[in-house]
Amino acid sequence: MKQFELPVAGTKLILRENVLAVLSDAPLTTVSSAFHNGGGLRKTNAILNVEVLKSCSDRLLHGNPELYIMDSAEKFGLKESFIGMVTAASVENFALVSKKEGELAVSAIATASDNEGNTCNYSESAGEPIVTEKIEGTINIIVVIDGNPTESCLVGSLITMTEAKAAGLSELDIRSRYSGQLATGTITDAAVVGKTGRGPEIVYGGPASKLGQLVGYCTRKAVKEAVMRAAECMSCRSIIARLKERHFPIEKMARELSKNSDLKVDKETLGPYLDKTLRNDPVAASIVLAALKMDEDIEKGLIPPELNKIEETSKKFGEIFRSFQTSSAAFTDSTSLDAVNLPPFLKQVLTSMVKNALSVEKTENLK
C-alpha cells in the first residue's frame, strides 16, 4: 500500500494493488459519471478508480461488473457507499497535480491508456461517427475541491475539467482512432468532481473563474502526465507514427503515389523510400507535417483568403522541398496527379520528394 498527501484536510490518496482511492474523513459531495453510484449529487467518503486486471476476462467483467468492483472495494473494507470507476489503465501510472490559492485548494488525479499502455488506440473526437466492437482505453479523472461550490458550480467544474482534458490531449497531438482528427477523449472516459463544502459559497466554476482556473490547470497537467507515463515516448513519437495516427500510413501514401503514371514507380519501391526519407531527413519530415496541418485546415473549412486557389498554392508549396535539394530536375504539370487520392498539400510535397529522388543525381535514393 502507498499513501499520498492531498492539500485537503482529512483526505488522502491510497494505492493498494489494483485500486486507487481517495478517502475522506468527512463526506464529500460529488457529481460524476462513475460506473458505481455515479450520476446526480452523492455524498461519499470514498472514490475508487479500479483497474481491470488482465486476469479478469472480458466476459466476466461485462457479465457482472458490480461483483468485480465490489470485490475490489473490500480491500478497503468498503460496502455500498463508495463511488467507483473502472479502467483498463494501470493505476500505478496515475498522475496527481494539486494547487492551492488562499483557502481554496484543488487536486486532480488522472489515469490513462488501455491494457497495452496506448491512449491513442481508442481515442476519439466527440461528434464523429464511431463504430467499435472492442471497448478499451480509458481516461479517468478525480477532482477534489477543498471549497464550497454550489451545485451548479460543481457541475460547471465538471465541464471545465472535461475541457481541460481535451486541451491536454491536444497538447500531445493525440488523434482519434476513427478519423485521425484531434482527440477529445477516449470512448470510455469517466470523471468525478467532489467538494468538502468548507468555506464561503462559490458560484462560478467556468475556465475564467478562480476555481475554474485551478481545476483547469490541475486537470490539464494531470492528464498529460498520465498519458506520458503510460507511454513514455508519447511526446517524442516518430514522424511515421504521427502520420499513421492521422490515417496516412506509409503503405497508403506509397499506394496512392504509385497511381501517378508520370513517376513510373511501384508502391513496393515507394514505401521503403518514403519511410527512409521521412526518418532520416528532418526537412522532409517538417515539410510533410506542415502540409498535413494545411490539409486539416482545408478539411475544416479554415481557408485564409490569402491562399487563393488551393491547387495552385499547394503546387507551389510542394516545390518548397526542391529548394532544399541539390537537384535541378524539371517539374511539369500533369493530370496524372488527379489519380492520387491524397489531400492537396501532402500530395504535392510527396510528389516533389519522389521526383527529386528520380533525378539523375538522386537515383540511388530510391534503392
User: Cell 507511454 identifies what position?
Assistant: 231
Based on the fold, state whether residues 123 and 220 are members of the same structural domain: yes
- Dihedral-angle region of residue 184 (phi above 0 means left; psi in -120 to 50 means alpha; beta otherwise): alpha
Based on the fold, state whether residues 88 and 205 are members of the same structural domain: yes
The pLDDT of 48-59, averaged and rounded, is 71
Alpha carbons 206 and 107: distance in angstroms, whole number: 17
Based on the fold, state whether residues 98 and 163 are members of the same structural domain: yes
Based on the fold, state whether residues 309 and 222 are members of the same structural domain: no
What are 256-299's pLDDT values in tens digits? 999 999 888 999 999 999 999 999 999 899 999 999 999 999 99
CB 157 within 8 Å of CB 149: yes
Based on the fold, state whether residues 88 and 136 are members of the same structural domain: yes
What are 145-165's pLDDT values in tens digits? 999 999 999 999 999 999 999
pTM of the predicted model as reported, rounded to 2 decimal places: 0.88
Better pLDDT: 46 or 63:
46
The pLDDT assigned to 330 comes to 45
Based on the fold, state whether residues 89 and 64 are members of the same structural domain: yes
Based on the fold, state whether residues 196 and 253 are members of the same structural domain: no
What are 294-316's pLDDT values in tens digits? 999 999 999 888 887 888 889 88
Inform me whether the pLDDT recorded for 101 exceeds 90: yes
| pLDDT bracket for residue 328 (50, 70, 90) | very low
- What CATH number does the domain containing 122 carry? 3.60.70
- φ, ψ dihedrals at 13, nearest 5°: -110, 125
Reported residue count of the chain is 367
195: CB partners within 8 A, 6+ apart? 28, 29, 30, 144, 145, 146, 147, 148, 149, 154
The pLDDT of 72-79, averaged and rounded, is 88
Boundary (domain end) residue, out of 219, 235, 251:
235
Domain count, the chain: 2
Print the domain residue range for 203: 2-235
- Of 74-88, 185-199, 227-241, least confident by mean pLDDT is 227-241
Based on the fold, state whether residues 40 and 172 are members of the same structural domain: yes
Better pLDDT: 367 or 224:
224
Based on the fold, state whether residues 302 and 230 are members of the same structural domain: no
- Of 18-27, 63-72, 306-315, least confident by mean pLDDT is 63-72
Inform me whether the pLDDT recorded for 209 exceeds 90: yes
Alpha carbons 91 and 14: distance in angstroms, whole number: 11
Better pLDDT: 361 or 212:
212
Average pLDDT across the chain, whole number: 87
Based on the fold, state whether residues 97 and 7 are members of the same structural domain: yes
Closest to 160 (Cα-Cα) out of 89, 220, 227, 247: 220
Based on the fold, state whether residues 74 and 87 are members of the same structural domain: yes
Boundary (domain end) residue, out of 172, 203, 235:
235
What are 171-197's pLDDT values in tens digits? 999 999 999 999 999 988 999 999 999
The pLDDT assigned to 46 comes to 97
Alpha carbons 323 and 321: distance in angstroms, whole number: 6
Boundary (domain end) residue, out of 183, 211, 235:
235
Based on the fold, state whether residues 225 and 246 are members of the same structural domain: no
